[in-house]
Amino acid sequence: MKIAILGFGTVGSGVYDIIANGDTRMRVTAIFIRPTHPATMPEMTTDLDAILNDPTIDVIVETMGGLHPAHDYILQALQHDKHVVTANKAVVAKYLPEFTAVAAQHHVQFYFEATTGGGIPWIRNLERAARIDQIDTIEGIFNGTSNYILDQMQRAHLDFDPVLLAAKDMGYAEADPSADIDGEDVVNKLKISAALAYNMAPPRDVPTFGIRNVSKADIDFFASQHQVLRLIGKSKRDGDHYSMVVEPRLYSETALAANTFENFNLIRLHGQTIGDLQFYGQGAGKYPTANAIVQDLYDILENAPHLDRSFDQPLHFDANLNVTDYVLRADPMTFAMFNDRETEIVNDRLVIKQIPTGDMHKLMRGVLAIDADAFMAAIGDSELAAKDVLHQRDQEVIG
Q: Report the catalytic residues.
A: 189
| Distance from the Cα of residue 305 to its chain's centroid | 24
Phi, psi of 111 (to 5 degrees): -120, 150
Report the 10 Å Cβ neighbour count for 3: 27
| Cross-sheet strand order for the sheet of 59-62 | 44-45, 27-32, 2-6, 59-62, 83-86, 110-111
Phi, psi of 199 (to 5 degrees): 60, 45
Within 8 A by CB and 6+ apart from 9, the residues are 63, 64, 65
Contact assessment for residue 240 and residue 315, using Cβ atoms and an 8 Å cutoff:
yes
Contact assessment for residue 167 and residue 260, using Cβ atoms and an 8 Å cutoff:
no
Report the 10 Å Cβ neighbour count for 397: 12
Whole-number Å distance between alpha carbons of 147 and 144:
5
Whole-number Å distance between alpha carbons of 180 and 147:
10
Contact assessment for residue 73 and residue 62, using Cβ atoms and an 8 Å cutoff:
yes
Phi, psi of 110 (to 5 degrees): -125, 110
Bridge-based pairing of strands 241-252 and 316-317 is parallel
- In this structure, is the dihedral angle defined by the CA atoms of residues 115, 120, 124 and 130, taken in order, positive or negative? negative
